[in-house]
Amino acid sequence: MPASTRVLLPGLLAALVATGAAAQTPPSAPPLQGVLNLTASASVEVPRDVLVLTFAATRDGAEPAAVQAELKRALDAALAEARKASQPGQIDVSTGNFTLFPRYAPKGGVAGWQGRAEMVVQGRDVDGIGRLAGRITTMSVAGVAQRLSREAQRRVEGEVVAQAIERFRAQAGDIARLFGYQGYALREVTVSTGSDGERPLPMMRAEAMAASADAPLPVEPGKGTVTATVSGSVQMK
C-alpha cells in the first residue's frame, strides 16, 4: 500500500466518525418564547375550633427509679380522670413527653434526678375541656393553644381555591396584554392548600383556667388562616 494512502486513512476514518455522530445528534430545540411563570395565592380567616391543653408534672429526687414511679402515678391518675370525659373529636386524650435526666452538683457528680411527664387534651368541646382542667389535680396546665380542625379547613378550601385561581387568571391576562399579546393558554398548573399551625395562648389564661374548676374555659376563639396557592406557566398568544 502506498505511503500516502496510509497517511490519509486515519484522517478519513476520523471524518467519517464525526459525520456519523453529527447525524445521530438530534437538533436542539428552539428556546421557548412567550412563556410566563406565575404564582397567585388567596387566604380566608376561619375561627380556630380546636383547643389544645398540655398538662405536665415534674418531680425531683435522689433516685431515678423513685422519680419515675412518682411521675407515672401522677400521669396515670390524670389519664384516668381525662378518659372519663373522652369523646372522639370532641375531647381526645394522649400522653406527651416523658423525660428523666440527672441534676449535677456545682462541683461535679450527680446530685439528684429530675423528671417531667406530659398529657395532651385537645378537641372542639371547649367547655368540656375547661371543666376537665379543673378536675385534674396531679398535673398542672403547662400550655394552651388553638388550631383549626381539618373539617373547618375543608369547609372553606373550595372558596379559597376559587379565589386563587381567579387571581392567577387575572394576572396571566393582564401581563400578556402588557407584553402585547392577545391572550394566553395554560401550560401546567399546580394547586396547593394549607393552614397555619397551632397558636399558643398566654400562660396567664392557662393559670386562670386551672383555677376555675368546672367553669367554662375563659378563652375566646382566635382566627386561623386557610391559604391556597396556584403556580404554573402559561403560553402567551
Q: In Å, how far are 16, 30, 58, 68, 129 from 117, measured between CA atoms?
A: 79, 64, 7, 9, 19
pLDDT of 202 over the 90 cut: no
Cβ pair 144, 122 in contact under 8 A: no
The per-residue pLDDT for range 159-172, each reduced to its tens digit, is 999 999 999 999 99
Mean confidence (pLDDT) of the chain:
84
pLDDT tens digits, residue range 57-112? Answer: 999 999 999 999 999 999 999 999 999 999 998 999 999 999 999 999 888 888 99
- pLDDT score for 74: 97
How much is the average pLDDT of 127-140? 91
pTM of this structure: 0.70
Q: Which of 5-14, 152-161, 171-180, 197-206 has the lowest average pLDDT?
A: 5-14
Residue 20 clears pLDDT 70, i.e. is over it: no
* Helix ranges restricted to H, the chain: 3-24, 64-85, 126-135, 150-178, 203-211
What average pLDDT does range 123-143 have in this prediction? 91
Per-residue confidence band for 8, with pLDDT thresholds at 50, 70 and 90: very low
Cell 441534676, located at residue: 103
User: How far apart are alpha carbons 119 and 52 in whole angstroms?
Assistant: 11
Rounded Cα distance, 119 and 86, in Å:
13
For the chain, domains (ranges, CATH) are 32-49+148-197+222-237 (3.30.110), 50-147 (3.30.70.2970)
Residues of the chain above pLDDT 70, percent: 78
Mean pLDDT of 209-219: 51
